Chain A
Amino acid sequence: MPPEGWIVFFEWCEATVLGTAVRNSVYAFPLIEAVHLVALCVMGGALIMVDLRLLGLGMKDQNAGQLARLVRPWLVGAIVVMLSTGVLLFLSEAIKCFYNTSFWVKMITLPIALGFTFLVRDPRIMKGAPTLLQSRMLGSVSMALWFVVAAAGRWIGYS
């Protein structure tokens, strides 16, 4: 759990115009959530196809770096939609999130997963063919990180 004092920030978030608007609408939260899910599909697909390739599965006749380059605009686009819808969802129930363990698990793993994808995995495979060991490591770490982000995200709604 975070320092108790941070709650002031979360209260402020929940009182923002956007947070209030989403909370006061019957339809806004579910619809934003649905967009968040569609973007999850695109983001997940974009990540999984490259990760499978790195694990020696899936599109084996293609070069991993090439695949990552081709899928990049869709990955980035989907992440932008995920982040913007995610912020809206968060603002509408910031205080609930503050006391939600799954939320914090997601907030810690998300930047790690983003950093890993854009600062480690993609630069490495776009630079040239990784060794077999590197390739397997990159693919499995990426999948594991994003799995935790997604699973914790789903679990925010249950806890």
Chain B
Amino acid sequence: MIRSFLEWLGNTPWSIALVESYYMWPWVESTHVLSLALFVGTAIMMDLRLVGLAFQGVPASSFIDRLLPWTRIGFVIMVVTGLFLFYSSPLRYYHNLFFRIKCMMLMIAGLNIWLFHSRILTSIDTWDDAGTPPRAARIAGIVSIVMWTGVVFSGRLIAYNWFDCDIQPQPTWVNSMAQCPVDEVAP
């Protein structure tokens, strides 16, 4: 069901045009990579403040109020360009192990953001000026740094076909994690 949809998606004229284009794909991909500096870069600056590793003299709310809007702009660019990249070869990414790891980390990062905003940020008035924020905020900062680092790492590795389904034999755990349709690709 998902596979047949993605197969159809990858065969739409625009998807083929995008993956075969000489300049368009690199432009979209470069925008995706350069926006990392804005998105993950500013997010990590805020995380460092939350963990208490940097900017101890700057109120935490200053990051939330002033820097976070820029992080969000970066995020929108990442998502839009990322969707275009996915659209260029949907089926390949769907079965790509690193893409799957990246998606899992994205979900954990998203959950972490939701918990931070709904549980921890509500009490910011009590720790806004604290050089070392409360434990929950520090944990949220660490989870964020680890997840976004992992997202960048696995995102970069999507480009490599080490574990792609059409390269067999692969270890069983790879084929099952990537849900490779082994019957179809087996020689």
**Chain A residues close to B by CB (< 8 Å):** 26, 30, 33-34, 37-38, 40-49, 52, 57-62, 66-67, 70-71, 73-74, 147, 150-151, 154-155, 158
Are B40 and A45 closer than 8 Å at their CB atoms? yes
User: B70 in the interface, Cβ–Cβ < 8 Å?
Assistant: yes
8 Å CB contact of A33 from B56, B67, B156 = B156
Are A49 and B67 closer than 8 Å at their CB atoms? yes
8 Å CB contact of A41 from B41, B58, B70 = B41
Main secondary structure of the interface of B (DSSP, over half): helix
Are B34 and A38 closer than 8 Å at their CB atoms? no
Are A60 and B66 closer than 8 Å at their CB atoms? yes
8 Å CB contact of A151 from B34, B67, B160 = B34
Are A48 and B30 closer than 8 Å at their CB atoms? no
What distance in Å separates the Cβ of A64 from its nearest Cβ neighbour in chain B? 12
With A30-B156, A42-B44 in contact, do A61 and B36 touch (Cβ < 8 Å)? no
Q: How far is the CA of A48 from the CA of B60 in the complex (A)?
A: 18
Are A48 and B48 closer than 8 Å at their CB atoms? no
Q: Which residues of B contact A57 (CB under 8 A)?
A: 70
Q: Which residues of B contact A59 (CB under 8 A)?
A: 58, 62-63, 66-67
8 Å CB contact of B37 from A34, A70, A150 = A150
- A27: nearest chain-B partner, CB-CB: B162
Q: Which residues of B contact A74 (CB under 8 A)?
A: 45, 48, 54
User: B153 in the interface, Cβ–Cβ < 8 Å?
Assistant: yes
**Chain B residues close to A by CB (< 8 Å):** 26, 29-30, 33-34, 36-38, 40-45, 48, 54-58, 62-63, 66-67, 70, 148-149, 152-153, 156-157, 159-160, 162
Are B26 and A34 closer than 8 Å at their CB atoms? no
Q: Which residues of B contact A70 (CB under 8 A)?
A: 54-58
Are B45 and A62 closer than 8 Å at their CB atoms? no
Q: Which residues of A contact B157 (CB under 8 A)?
A: 30, 34
8 Å CB contact of B38 from A33, A44, A62 = A44
Q: Which residues of B contact A52 (CB under 8 A)?
A: 70
8 Å CB contact of B70 from A38, A58, A66, A154 = A58
Q: How far is the CA of A71 from the CA of B44 in the complex (A)?
A: 12
Are A46 and B36 closer than 8 Å at their CB atoms? no
Q: Which residues of A contact B152 (CB under 8 A)?
A: 34, 37-38, 41
Q: Which residues of A contact B55 (CB under 8 A)?
A: 67, 70-71
Q: How far is the CA of A151 from the CA of B1 in the complex (A)?
A: 39
- B63: nearest chain-A partner, CB-CB: A59
What distance in Å separates the Cβ of A55 from its nearest Cβ neighbour in chain B? 11
Ordered by A's residue number, 14 sampled pairs between the chains whose C-beta atoms are within 8 Å are: A34-B152, A38-B153, A40-B36, A40-B41, A41-B37, A45-B44, A48-B42, A58-B66, A58-B67, A70-B55, A71-B55, A74-B48, A154-B30, A154-B33
